[in-house]
Structure 1
Amino acid sequence: MSAEIALLVSNGWQVVQRWFQEQRSFAVWFAAIVCWVSWWCWRFIITPRISTLEVKEYPYWIPETVQYSEVSKHKWNLKVLKEPKRLMILKRQHFHNTNEPLQLTLFGTSVYFVSRAEDVSEVYRNTRTFTFDEFYHHIFISMGISGASVQQIFAPLPARIKDPENTQGKPVAKLAKELQIAQLQPGPGLDALERAQLAYLECHVQPDAVLESRYRYPDLLGGEVPSQTGSVEMSLWHWCADLNVRAAQRAFFGSALDRLDPDLPQKFLEFDDLSWKLLYQFPIFLARDTIAKRDYLRTALKAFYDLPREMRNDAEGWALDSTEDRLRAIGIPTEDLASIALILYWGANTNTRKAAFWLICHLLSNPSLIDSIRTETAGAFGPEGTITDLVHLRRHCHQLDATWNETLRLTGVAASLRTVTADTVLCGRMLRAGNPLIIPYRQFHHDKGIFGDDIMTFRPERFLNTKLKKVKRVRLEHFRPFGGGSTICPGRFITKRVVMILVALLLRRFDISMAGGSQDMPQADDWSPFLGIAGVKPGHDMRIRLTPRKAAAT
C-alpha cells in the first residue's frame, strides 16, 4: 500500500513538474506573487504586531520604494515633498486619524511625520537628536559654494583669528545665522529695515509711480492718456512681486545692486519659481535651468562685493556687512561670498510678495473688509498722507492682523525638516537614527478641532477671539505659518510689517476692485514645494483695478 502511495505521489510530482515546464512564464509570475504577498504581509501586518515600539508605516506596493507612478509624474513629483497635506490626510485616515508619529518609506529611507502639537514641541526642545545641520549644509552647497569654503564656514573659528564678538570660536556659519536673527528681531535693526522699505513703498505705491513703471508691467491697461478716473488694471501677482522684491533689495543691499543690474529682481523671480529643485537635490541634468538662473544672480552679487565698501554703504542690512567681514577674515573668496549673500537675498524675497498677493486677493474677494481696514489703518497716517506711526499698524489694526493670520492659515505650506541623529522615543514610538523627520504645519492649520468645520473658508473672525488664553493657545501651539523652534523663519517680523505697510498705503491711495467686476479666486500651486507661503498655480492670477482716491492726501 505504501509503495502504491509513493508511486502516486511520484507520478503527481512529475505531472506538476511537466506542467510548470510547459507553463514556465506563469510559474515565474506565480512565484513572484507569492514572494510579494509574503513580503507585504510580513512588512505591514506581522511586523507591526511584533514590534509595537516602531513607528507605524504607511503601506506601499513595491519593496524599498514607493509606487513609481506616484513619484514619476509631474516633474519627478514626490508626494512627500509636494503634497504633504494630501499625504498626511491619507495616512491619518489609514491609521484611523491617529496623531502619533507616522512614517513613509521613500527609496529605502524612512521619513517620519510628526503632527501632534505636543510632539512638535518635544522635537523643538530636543536639539541633540533632532538636528537641522544636514539641511543647513545643503542650502550652502545648493547655492554653488565650493566644498572647501563650506568646510571653512562650518569649522570652528581658527585660533589665529581674534573676534571679540566670537570668543567661543563658533563657526562663521553659526555666527552669520545669529547676526541675521539679531537684525531681524524687533529692535533698532528691524526698525531700520522697515523704514527703508517704507520709504520705497511710499514713493512707488502712487498713481504716477505705477504709470512711470509701466514698462515693467506689459499687461497694464489704462493710463495711456489722461482720463477722468485715471484707473489702471494690471496683474496683481506681477505687481506685488516686482514691488516687494525691489523694496527689500533696496533695504538690504542699498542702491548699488540696482545700478549694477536694474533687471535683477526679475531674474530673481525666475530663479525663485524653480529654486525648489535645488532644495530637494534634483539631479544636475534636471536642474540646469535653475542652476543657470542661480549663477546669473551669483555673478551680479559678486560684482556688488567687488565694489569698494564706500560705493555700497547706503544699505540698512548691517548683518550683511558683519558677515562679509568675518567671511573675508577666514579667506572665503568673493564668488563664494556672493553665494552666501544669495541665501539672504532669497530668504528676504521669497515670502513677502506671496503673502501680499494672497492678502490683497482675499480683500478683493471679501470687499466688506476693505472699509474697516482702511478706517483702522488711518491712524498711522500724518497730515501729509504719509505713514508716520508704524507702531499704530502693529498694535491697533486688529482686523488687518486677523486678515493676515487667516491668509497665512490658508496659504502657508511651511514644513520643518530635521535629521534623527540617535534612536529616540517620541510619543511612545522609536524613531531610528539616520532618518529624516518632517513637521507639516499646514496639517495644524486645517485641524477642525482647532479652527472649526469651515477650515477651507476665509473667515478672519476666527482670529478675533477676545479670550486671551485661547488666542495664545491657538497661536503658539497650532498656528505656525513660519515654522518653529530654532529654525523658525527669522524674517517673519519684517514680512508682516512690510505687507501691512503695503496694504495701508494701497487702501489709502486707491479704491481697489477686481478688473472686470468679478473673478475667481486664484488657486495655490500645490505641485511645487515652497519654504513658507504657497505660490500661485501657473495660469492663475488676479487682475486688480486701481482707481486713485480723491481723499488720498488728506
Structure 2
Amino acid sequence: MVLYDIAGTLHIEELWAAIIIYSAIAVVLSSTVLALALWRIWRFTVSPILYPTDPKELPYWIPIVGKDFDVPNPRILVLLEHFGDTREPFTLTIAGGQLHVLTNSKDVEDAYKNTSSIGFDGFVQAMMRTLGSSEHCINAMFSYRPHSPHENDFPNPLKKPLGKLTKDLHVRQLFPGQHLDDLCNKFVDFFDEFLVLEEISKMDFATEKTSESIVVPLRMWTSEVFIIGGQRAYFGRLLEDIDPNMARTFIEFDELGWQVLFQYPRFASRRMHAMADKLVANFEAYYGTPKEKRKGDAWFVKAFEHEARQAGLDTHDIATMMLPVYWAIHTNTRGASFWMLAYLVSRPGSMAAVRSEMALAFDISGRVNFHYLNDSCPQFAAIWSETIRITAGSASVRYLTADTVIGGKTLRKHNRVMMPSRQLHFNEEIFGQDAHRFDPERFIRNKALLKGSSCRPFGGGTTICPGRFVSKIAVLTNVALLLQRFDVEFAGSCPFPRFEEGKPSLGILSNKEGDNPLIRLRKRTLPV
C-alpha cells in the first residue's frame, strides 16, 4: 500500500513538473510572438509615420538579420509593385545590413553625380575582403600613390592612390586607341582559330559530329569560347597550361557571384569561395612564373603588376586583385553572346539582314575587320543594343559616407545604395508600351535612347564600365565570324530560353536552369 502511495506521489510530481515546463515554454513562446508582433508594428507601421522622410522598408520577420535573399530572390519589378510603383527609394535589410534601392532614373542620375557623400571605395574594399584580399593589400591599394612615371609609360600627375589609378589603367587599355586595337586583334585571332569545325569538335559537350555539322549546347559553348578567348587576350596561353579547366571553375563562380555583391559571409557561401580560391591559386601560379615565360599578356596585366609590386603587394595579393579583373572580362561577354545568338537564330530574317550588312567586313582571306563591324553596321549595332537592354540585370552599388537626401528621402550614413539597371530598361515612358518585347528597330528609330539616363547596361557616372567598347567588339566579331562560316539553327524542338530573374546579377542575366537550347552549326558554302 505504501509503495502505491509513493508511486502515486511520484506520478503527480512528474505531472506537475511537466505542467510547469510546458507553461514556461508557452509563456516564452507567447511573449516572443507578442514581442515580435509589437516590434513589427513599430518597425513597419509606426516608425514610417514618425519618420516620413526615411525610405519605406520591405517588411521581414527576423529582427536584425532581415530578409533572406537567397534563391529565389525577389525581383525588383515585383518589389516596385509592393510599394505601389511610386519609384521612390525603398530599403531592404539583408544579413543585418541596410540597402537603399533607387529605381527612378532621376534619382539614379543624382546618385551618380554625388561623389561627396556617395562613394564607391567602400564597396570595392568590402568586395576585396570577400574575395580574400589581406588588410595589407587593401591599405596599400588605397594609400600607396605611384610617383615614378619614368619607370613605365603611365603618368600619375594627380598622385592618385593605386586603387583609383587602376581605373585609369583600365581606361588606357580599353578605351579606343592602340591598346584596345591590340586586345581586339587577339580576340580576332582566337575566334579565327577556334570557330572551325575541327576545333569545336574537340569540346567534350559537342554531339552529332559529322564532317559538315555539329551540335553544341548554346550556353556552355558561348561561355567557354569567351572565357578562353578573353583569357588568351589578357594573359596569353599560360593560364590554360596551369589549369585546363579554369573556364569551368569560373562558370561555377560566376553563377554564384551575386553572393559577393551582397557580401555573404564565408560560412553561407562556401561553394562560391571554393571556386574563388581555385581561381586565385591559378593566378598565384601565373604571377609566380618568371615574366620572360609569360607570353602574350596584355598591356594592363604588365602595368598593374609593376605598380602593385612597387606598392609592396606580394604574389598572393596580386592574385586576389586579378580575380575581379578576370570576372569583369568574362561575365558580360559570355552572357551577351548567348542571348544575341538566341535572338538571331529565332529570327532568320534578322540573321539574313546581318549577314548582308556585314559582308564588306571580311577581306579576301576571310579575316574580319572589327572596326567595320563596330562603325558601319547599324542593324548589327541595334541588335547588340537591344540585346543588352533587355538582358542586363546589373546593379551599381555605392556606400553612404553621410546622410543624403535623394528623391525626397533621407538615405542614412554607413548604409549601401543599389541602383539596379534592369527596371530602368523597361520604363514604358522611355521605351514604349512594347518595352518588354525584343525590337532592335527602336534604336534605329530613336538613336537618343542610347544616351538617355534610362539605358544603363554598363552602369553610369564615374564608374561606368570601361570594358563596354571591347565587350561590344568581341561579341560582334564572334557572331559575325560564326554567321559567315556556318548556318546556325536550333537543334530539335526547344522553347526560347527564359531569363533567370530569381537571382541577383552583376551583368547580363543567366538563363533559367534547364533552358539551354542546342544549336546545330553547319558549314556554309561561302560566295566566291
Report the TM-score, using the length of structure 1 for normalisation: 0.84
Selected match of 2:482 from 492, 496, 506: 506
Q: What amino acid maps onto 1:217 in structure 2?
A: D
SS at match of 2:452: helix
- The residue number in structure 2 matching 1:165 is 155
Per the TM alignment, residue 107 of structure 1 is displaced from its structure 2 partner at its CA by 5.1
Q: What amino acid maps onto 2:481 in structure 1?
A: L
Q: 1:445–1:451: 8 Å Cα contact kept in structure 2? A: yes
Q: 1:301–1:341: 8 Å Cα contact kept in structure 2? A: yes
Selected match of 1:104 from 82, 92, 95: 92
Partners of 1:94 and 1:538 lie apart in 2 by: 27
Per the TM alignment, residue 417 of structure 1 is displaced from its structure 2 partner at its CA by 0.5
Partners of 1:32 and 1:59 lie apart in 2 by: 18
Partners of 1:63 and 1:294 lie apart in 2 by: 31
For the pair 1:463 / 2:453, whether they are aligned, the reply is no
- The residue number in structure 1 matching 2:408 is 428
Deviations 1:124-146 (A, max 9, x none): 11111111112101222233222
Selected match of 2:198 from 208, 224, 228: 208
Q: 1:364–1:514: 8 Å Cα contact kept in structure 2? A: yes
Selected match of 1:381 from 321, 337, 362: 362
- The residue number in structure 2 matching 1:12 is none
Selected match of 1:259 from 231, 238, 241: 241
For the pair 1:182 / 2:172, whether they are aligned, the reply is yes
Per the TM alignment, residue 296 of structure 1 is displaced from its structure 2 partner at its CA by 2.4
- The residue number in structure 2 matching 1:344 is 325
Partners of 2:523 and 2:380 lie apart in 1 by: 21
- Which deviates the most, 35-44 or 340-349? 35-44
Partners of 1:39 and 1:274 lie apart in 2 by: 33
SS at match of 1:464: helix
Per the TM alignment, residue 402 of structure 1 is displaced from its structure 2 partner at its CA by 1.5
Selected match of 2:505 from 527, 530, 538: 530
Once the two structures are superposed, the pairs formed by residues 29-44 of structure 1 within 5 Å of their partners are 38-44=38-44
Q: Percent identity?
A: 35
Q: What amino acid maps onto 1:188 in structure 2?
A: Q
Q: 1:48–1:54: 8 Å Cα contact kept in structure 2? A: yes
Q: 1:412–1:481: 8 Å Cα contact kept in structure 2? A: yes
Q: 1:220–1:235: 8 Å Cα contact kept in structure 2? A: no
For the pair 1:323 / 2:319, whether they are aligned, the reply is no
Partners of 1:141 and 1:58 lie apart in 2 by: 28
- The residue number in structure 2 matching 1:122 is 110
Deviations 1:212-255 (A, max 9, x none): xx2x23342222xx4xxx12111111211111111111111123
Partners of 1:497 and 1:479 lie apart in 2 by: 19
Partners of 2:398 and 2:122 lie apart in 1 by: 8
For the pair 1:395 / 2:375, whether they are aligned, the reply is yes
Per the TM alignment, residue 545 of structure 1 is displaced from its structure 2 partner at its CA by 0.7
Per the TM alignment, residue 155 of structure 1 is displaced from its structure 2 partner at its CA by 1.5
- The residue number in structure 1 matching 2:262 is 280
The structure-2 alpha-carbon separation of the partners of 1:262 and 1:110, relative to structure 1 and needing over 3 Å to count, comes to closer
Q: What amino acid maps onto 1:198 in structure 2?
A: V
Q: 1:298–1:339: 8 Å Cα contact kept in structure 2? A: yes
- The residue number in structure 1 matching 2:288 is 306
Partners of 1:298 and 1:339 lie apart in 2 by: 6
Once the two structures are superposed, the pairs formed by residues 21-32 of structure 1 within 5 Å of their partners are none
Q: 1:448–1:455: 8 Å Cα contact kept in structure 2? A: yes
The structure-2 alpha-carbon separation of the partners of 1:45 and 1:161, relative to structure 1 and needing over 3 Å to count, comes to same
Deviations 1:440-463 (A, max 9, x none): 111111222222233332222222
Q: What amino acid maps onto 2:259 in structure 1?
A: K
SS at match of 1:535: coil
Q: 1:406–1:463: 8 Å Cα contact kept in structure 2? A: yes
The structure-2 alpha-carbon separation of the partners of 1:42 and 1:342, relative to structure 1 and needing over 3 Å to count, comes to closer
Q: 1:77–1:527: 8 Å Cα contact kept in structure 2? A: no
- The residue number in structure 2 matching 1:15 is none
- The residue number in structure 2 matching 1:520 is 495
- The residue number in structure 1 matching 2:515 is 540
Per the TM alignment, residue 51 of structure 1 is displaced from its structure 2 partner at its CA by 2.9
Partners of 2:63 and 2:278 lie apart in 1 by: 42
SS at match of 2:233: helix
For the pair 1:221 / 2:211, whether they are aligned, the reply is no
SS at match of 2:501: coil
SS at match of 2:453: helix
Partners of 1:473 and 1:417 lie apart in 2 by: 24
- The residue number in structure 1 matching 2:70 is 77
SS at match of 1:371: helix
Q: 1:161–1:329: 8 Å Cα contact kept in structure 2? A: no
SS at match of 1:439: strand
Per the TM alignment, residue 269 of structure 1 is displaced from its structure 2 partner at its CA by 2.4
Q: 1:261–1:300: 8 Å Cα contact kept in structure 2? A: yes
The structure-2 alpha-carbon separation of the partners of 1:521 and 1:129, relative to structure 1 and needing over 3 Å to count, comes to same
SS at match of 1:350: helix
Selected match of 2:126 from 131, 134, 138: 138
Structural RMSD (CA):
2.7
Q: 2:147–2:156: 8 Å Cα contact kept in structure 1? A: no
- Which deviates the most, 287-296 or 336-345? 287-296
The structure-2 alpha-carbon separation of the partners of 1:303 and 1:111, relative to structure 1 and needing over 3 Å to count, comes to closer
Q: What amino acid maps onto 1:129 in structure 2?
A: S
Per the TM alignment, residue 401 of structure 1 is displaced from its structure 2 partner at its CA by 1.4
- The residue number in structure 1 matching 2:56 is 56
Deviations 1:16-43 (A, max 9, x none): xxxxxx9998887776666555544444
Deviations 1:395-433 (A, max 9, x none): 221221121122112211000111111011112221111
Q: What amino acid maps onto 1:128 in structure 2?
A: S
Q: What amino acid maps onto 2:494 in structure 1?
A: Q
Per the TM alignment, residue 300 of structure 1 is displaced from its structure 2 partner at its CA by 2.2
SS at match of 1:478: coil
The structure-2 alpha-carbon separation of the partners of 1:187 and 1:476, relative to structure 1 and needing over 3 Å to count, comes to farther
Deviations 1:345-373 (A, max 9, x none): 22111111111011101111222211001
For the pair 1:93 / 2:68, whether they are aligned, the reply is no
Q: 1:142–1:279: 8 Å Cα contact kept in structure 2? A: no
Partners of 1:136 and 1:118 lie apart in 2 by: 24
Q: 1:102–1:113: 8 Å Cα contact kept in structure 2? A: yes
Q: Which runs of 5+ in 1 are unaligned?
A: 1-21
SS at match of 2:93: strand
Aligned length: 505
- The residue number in structure 2 matching 1:240 is 222
Q: 2:144–2:311: 8 Å Cα contact kept in structure 1? A: no
Q: What amino acid maps onto 2:293 in structure 1?
A: M
SS at match of 2:215: strand
Deviations 1:257-304 (A, max 9, x none): 233333332333233233333443333234333333223222222222
SS at match of 1:200: helix
Per the TM alignment, residue 309 of structure 1 is displaced from its structure 2 partner at its CA by 1.9
Partners of 2:290 and 2:473 lie apart in 1 by: 32
SS at match of 1:218: coil
Partners of 1:170 and 1:362 lie apart in 2 by: 44
The structure-2 alpha-carbon separation of the partners of 1:190 and 1:47, relative to structure 1 and needing over 3 Å to count, comes to same
